[in-house]
Structure 1
Amino acid sequence: METRWPYTYYPAGAWEFANNIESSKIRRVQAMRSLYSFPLKNSKSVRFRTMITKRLGEPVDVEDSRPRAPPLAPSRTIKEYLDPTYPTPRPPPSAPSCVVPVLSYSFANTYGAPPATAAYAPPAGCPAPWSLVVLSFSAAIAGDQYDRVAAVWLDGAELLRTTTAEPTPDGIRWTVRKDVTRHSALLRSPPGGVLSVMLENLVNDQYTGVYNVSVSLEFHGVPAYLADAGSSSSAAGAVDSNPPTPTLPESYFQPADLILPISEATGNSIGFWFRIQNSSDSRSKLVSVPSSTYRAVLEVFVSPHSNDEFWYSNPPDIYIRENNLTTGRGNAAYREVVVSVDRHFAGSFVPFPVIYTGGINPLFWQPVAALGAFNLPTYDVELTPFLGLLVDGKAHEIALSVVDGITEWLVDANLHLWLDPASSSVSAALDRYRTPRLSITRRYNTRLLDGSFKIRAKRKSRFSGWVKSSFGNFTTEVETELKATSVVEFTHQGRNKTVRLQAEQETEITVRSSETRKEVSKVETEAKFPLWLEMVTEDGENGTYVMKANLTHSLSIETDAEAEGLFEREARLADEQAAAGWMLVRDHDVLNGSAATTQAYRYSDGAGRVERAIDTLDGAVLSDNVTESYSALDVAASTSTAACCRVRRCHGIVAAKCSDVAAM
């Protein structure tokens, strides 16, 4: 194992509650790494668990402190960490391209300091339109340090939310690549932009690691053969002095024309994210939406920290009070992020439980990061039905809050707006709205330090509103159903802990002709993310104890989209991880340990399929297999055919002439 011994660790979960451990604010960040996992209800989970059991077996006795799989010999080479997910799309063949380095900075003592900043201007050598834009965030560090949260903003609009890996003495490095083509409206803004990066770090005699970060942008233009084929529709970021009037469905799926940040106004000094401290803490911004807006989508960034980093494992406050515990990690195990427009509920979601690299058992995440840890998921909330409230030329409030949230949540958002190219104003109205109530039941049973806490939550909403623009009069209907079940159990006098979370959300967005009620486009999305965690704590000798953990968690998303006369598309994503391991701990030092992690990533759509399976043991990659297959599109005979190429990932609809999608 490449982790040096002893390894600093601050335990949490059952052991912490049973022993009433308290620590400083800085140490508590690490102490909150509780242990969790979820049942994956398919044959893959059985394979995962069987493989890990065979590989690790049972943890060694405390008296025999040697790891079952001994650490690897110290390496003097910097280790590459990775996030085995879908690679960023490839640009079309022969596309003009350029790489623009924007910022390089060493984050040492930056706790409480303003974000690092750099000037940004669109590249003169690669002007819009762009077929693809990729943000690259690279980091390197050596020494001892906690995991940290970081973000990248452009003029106050967030492009990336990420967390860092925990280093080794010899050093590690990693790169996050994110497709930001949908943010072309920001990226093509006139010179004078400011790119900001926030990463609060602390360096002293004990925590010596400095995060060396570089941020760059890769711009890929539209090759001539695609530009010719796509003359009837604009590519992402295109600026046409005499554009043809598009039909609603085609323009509806293009990237936005304008993006407004919903973020902290004083972000240049404290970071642009809002800091939510409790369930009544609603953070908002007043924005004026152009009167020509015919579509609006809110892209939400969110991450939990401090007492709520492991919200899905928190016990209720009654358990903490009855056992005279002093921990602040309570308020039970349900959280829901809520979006409102002028104090009208406009949408919500249960956030995906991202585990940071110091979480549960830090040995799990060497060198593979947990799902979403390097590129935290964002959440789109369709606000088009509410344009009747927004397009009057006045300032309106967009607000974010967290149901049952406690200290602290970092949230902000980007408001994506589509503007009518042929009219300076639209007319709109919200014609169906019913305030959806959260249905939630709680069943708590406690017996001293043992307890079982179960929560079931459900919310169903349906909104519709019409917008009359130069495209015609169209009604957008948004229907969402959210369900979540969480169970937290303590046994053996609070020393063992089991966590189960099952959350799912279905969203259907339908656009109809307001006059004929004919459906012109529909997008249906179903997301599920189960998690199961089991943590066992056993006493050892000489003040030591063994912590065993088993974890499974996954993310599954199914999307079906269709637009009459343009396309039909389905996409399937299944990303699963399972991990098992143990640590021998004295105080806050890990004396020995072993951990194995396996991940299976599968993505498919009409253009092809990508699968990746990776197995790790004690910091080493045992296997990493990638399988790719692609379909060929040949629409050369009809340059007016609109298609969604893999390179575009359906961020926009572009008339494509692709003879070999695999080459992209």
Structure 2
Amino acid sequence: MSMLTGAVLLASTVLGSGTVRAAPLTSSPSPPTASASASSPSPGVPAEFGGDWHDPLTAAPPVTKPHTRSCRVTLAEAQFRDFTPYRGSYVPPDGCGDHWSKVVLRLDGKVRGRQFDRLGHVQVGGVEIFRTSTPEPSPDGIEWSVEKDVTRYSATFRSAQDVEMLIGNVVDDTYTGVIDVKVTLTFYAGEAAGVPDRVLTLDRGPQGTTLTTPRNSERVVAEVYATGSGGGCEEYWYLTVPSAAPYSCRAGDGPYREVQVEVDGRPAGIAAPFPTVWTGGLGNPFLWYVVPGPRAFDIKPIEYDLTPFAGLFNDGRAHRVEVSVVGVPEGQSGWSTPVDVLVWQDPGKAVVGGGLLAHDAGELTDSATYTPGAEHRVDTTGGHRLTVAGYLDTSHGRVRTTVTRTLANTSAHRWTDGESVDGLDASWTDDESVTVDGRRTSLTTRISRTYTMNGTTTLGADDRLRTVLTLGDRADAVTRRDGRLVSWSRLDDTYAGDATFIVGVPRDQRHAVGTTSERYRSYGPDGCYDRRLATAQGVLTENRRRC
């Protein structure tokens, strides 16, 4: 255990910070634009954190809702004190039909006292429809809410189903926060275009996990809710170093991770995991009390277009589908990878034949170089490329689908002896191209994703711990039909934080200060969304919309 992690752990465990699952941040030091430890408070902003703060919120846009008749169903209402899941039942709504223009999930939560951040999920009929994490509370209590468009799971919602929800928690004399949540679905009357006909889960048996699809499947997309968690080093996989380096989180060859899907033993999809930082992350809870990092409340699944394999799936047999996280040392746990499979069927044929045309799994590169010194350093470069093509003889002719995905990761991790200074400058790119060639037309969609993390944690001689951090979640998407632009979108979600407190002392002696901000911008043919949040010492100082 590093000196920095040990200090934060001691303060958390003995004195009741909400952050026991702390690991040092790694990144190349970069001076903040505004120092939380030196800036003057604005009017109405206290000089330091008190015992309460603004309820958590994010800059992400709310789900747009149609102006149609709606019906609401409660999926779960529970108080989580331990690791006992809530189990209930779902019945389709009465009065809104069995097809909907939109289905919106909403979680409303509250917690007070002292508690860790916790991971949670909601499953309906075994289908994972939502994965989330929780904020850490103030002594007086906080409330928060999350919305998600879950229209794509409409096929599951059309019949009665079992419901399971779990937010694993521990409540005792020290950690007193009971997590109280209510989850609802609101159904809006109408018809949504392009909704999958079936939503499947993998079957588990002696041969592993398998998938059996309808024999007329013409599009197959897998969703993987991949999360590194559990409090060990895989929660901070982007900070791990090769086993030869003197660092508290050593894991095999270093920090390169790749979430890979295999069909019958061959790679069928590759993706870069998003470097989520939970609300107890990086040893400094004052970064996350009001504004969480990107995706922390709404954990997005990784999508894999498996349509090139649809001809194989359509033979009516069970095919082995497995998910693995490349880079995790053998036998080490820490990743959860539940899978949903979305299937679109050909209404004009009972059986759609086809086959695989091309499969090119390039060589995976993963180099992590350790350089010792007064400032230790690990430089990592990794990447992979996969191209798969297949065809289907549908009721509207032969259709060929080609999927290409290219991954790249670079990071520079620097730290001093004892990890009292610990910094990371890292980026991940995940570029995907899907081309569908039919008898008369060709449609190509290209998505370029970029994730970034840059920050430094420093523990000074005065036991003041300071973390300066920026996180980025960006994506550009373009769709062309026969070479002509038909749609485009751009997303830029950026978080920045700078927080300082004294470790190893009671809560009222920490003299914590911190500024955080998030700016979420999205653009497309229908307009733009631009919202910026800013906080100081737990007070919301800016909530501005520019579009």
Compute the TM-score of the two structures, normalised by the length of structure 2: 0.90
CA contact (8 A) 2:27 2:422 kept: no
CA contact (8 A) 1:450 1:494 kept: no
* Structure 1 residue 129 displacement after superposition: 2.0
Picking from 300, 306, 310, the partner of 1:387 is 310
The 3-state SS of whatever aligns with 1:387 is: helix
Unaligned runs of 5+ in 2: none
Picking from 219, 232, 241, the partner of 1:315 is 241
* Structure 1 residue 56 displacement after superposition: 3.9
Aligned to 1:199: 167
CA contact (8 A) 2:380 2:410 kept: yes
* Structure 1 residue 411 displacement after superposition: 1.0
Picking from 337, 348, 353, the partner of 2:275 is 353
Matching residue's letter, 2:61: Y
Aligned to 1:262: 202
Unaligned runs of 5+ in 1: 1-11, 40-44, 60-67, 223-234, 237-252, 266-282, 629-664
Aligned to 2:93: 123
* Residue 179 in structure 1 maps to residue 149 in structure 2: yes
* Residue 343 in structure 1 maps to residue 261 in structure 2: no
Aligned mates of 1:458, 1:367 — CA distance in 2:
35
Aligned to 1:501: 426
* Structure 1 residue 154 displacement after superposition: 0.8
Aligned to 1:614: 533
CA contact (8 A) 1:17 1:494 kept: no
* Structure 1 residue 35 displacement after superposition: 2.3
The 3-state SS of whatever aligns with 1:311 is: helix
CA contact (8 A) 1:36 1:500 kept: yes
* Structure 1 residue 563 displacement after superposition: 4.1
Aligned mates of 2:341, 2:46 — CA distance in 1:
50
* Residue 285 in structure 1 maps to residue 285 in structure 2: no
CA contact (8 A) 1:97 1:220 kept: yes
TM alignment of 1:10-21, pairs within 5 A? 15-16=4-5
Aligned mates of 2:416, 2:372 — CA distance in 1:
10
* Residue 596 in structure 1 maps to residue 497 in structure 2: no
* Residue 538 in structure 1 maps to residue 538 in structure 2: no
Matching residue's letter, 2:115: Q
Aligned to 1:81: 56
CA contact (8 A) 1:81 1:174 kept: yes
* Residue 134 in structure 1 maps to residue 104 in structure 2: yes
Picking from 134, 139, 145, the partner of 1:164 is 134
Aligned mates of 2:425, 2:382 — CA distance in 1:
14
The 3-state SS of whatever aligns with 1:16 is: helix
Aligned mates of 1:409, 1:312 — CA distance in 2:
13
Matching residue's letter, 2:97: P
Aligned to 2:501: 583
The 3-state SS of whatever aligns with 1:319 is: coil
* Residue 484 in structure 1 maps to residue 409 in structure 2: yes
Aligned mates of 1:18, 1:80 — CA distance in 2:
28
Aligned mates of 1:388, 1:34 — CA distance in 2:
47
Distance 1:13 1:87, change over 3 A: farther
* Residue 562 in structure 1 maps to residue 539 in structure 2: no
Distance 1:593 1:626, change over 3 A: same
Distance 1:357 1:38, change over 3 A: farther
Question: Which string of whole-angstrom CA distances, capped at 9 and with x for unpartnered residues, describes residues 377-417 of structure 1?
Answer: 21110100012321111111111111122430111111111
The 3-state SS of whatever aligns with 1:501 is: strand
The 3-state SS of whatever aligns with 1:182 is: helix
Question: Which string of whole-angstrom CA distances, capped at 9 and with x for unpartnered residues, describes residues 469-505 of structure 1?
Answer: 1121100011111111022111255321111111111
Picking from 32, 38, 47, the partner of 1:57 is 38
The 3-state SS of whatever aligns with 1:139 is: strand
Distance 1:129 1:421, change over 3 A: same
- Stretch moving more, 433-442 or 455-464: 433-442
Total equivalences in the alignment = 533
Picking from 327, 336, 340, the partner of 1:414 is 340
The 3-state SS of whatever aligns with 1:539 is: coil
Distance 1:71 1:263, change over 3 A: farther
* Residue 363 in structure 1 maps to residue 303 in structure 2: no
The 3-state SS of whatever aligns with 1:394 is: coil
* Residue 105 in structure 1 maps to residue 78 in structure 2: yes
Aligned mates of 1:264, 1:328 — CA distance in 2:
32
Matching residue's letter, 1:521: L
Aligned mates of 1:344, 1:456 — CA distance in 2:
24
Aligned mates of 2:147, 2:23 — CA distance in 1:
26
The 3-state SS of whatever aligns with 1:317 is: coil
Picking from 23, 33, 37, the partner of 2:23 is 33
CA contact (8 A) 2:72 2:187 kept: yes
Matching residue's letter, 1:616: T
Question: Which string of whole-angstrom CA distances, capped at 9 and with x for unpartnered residues, describes residues 222-245 of structure 1?
Answer: 2xxxxxxxxxxxx33xxxxxxxxx
* Structure 1 residue 17 displacement after superposition: 7.9
Aligned mates of 1:208, 1:611 — CA distance in 2:
38
Aligned to 2:176: 208
Distance 1:418 1:100, change over 3 A: same
Compute the TM-score of the two structures, normalised by the length of structure 1: 0.75
Aligned mates of 1:179, 1:552 — CA distance in 2:
27
- Stretch moving more, 586-595 or 160-169: 586-595
CA contact (8 A) 2:28 2:412 kept: no
Q: Give the superposed CA RMSD.
A: 3.0
Aligned mates of 2:290, 2:493 — CA distance in 1:
17
Aligned mates of 1:328, 1:23 — CA distance in 2:
23
CA contact (8 A) 1:286 1:398 kept: yes
User: % of aligned pairs identical?
Assistant: 27
Aligned mates of 2:96, 2:484 — CA distance in 1:
29
* Structure 1 residue 420 displacement after superposition: 1.2
Distance 1:425 1:263, change over 3 A: closer
* Structure 1 residue 460 displacement after superposition: 1.3
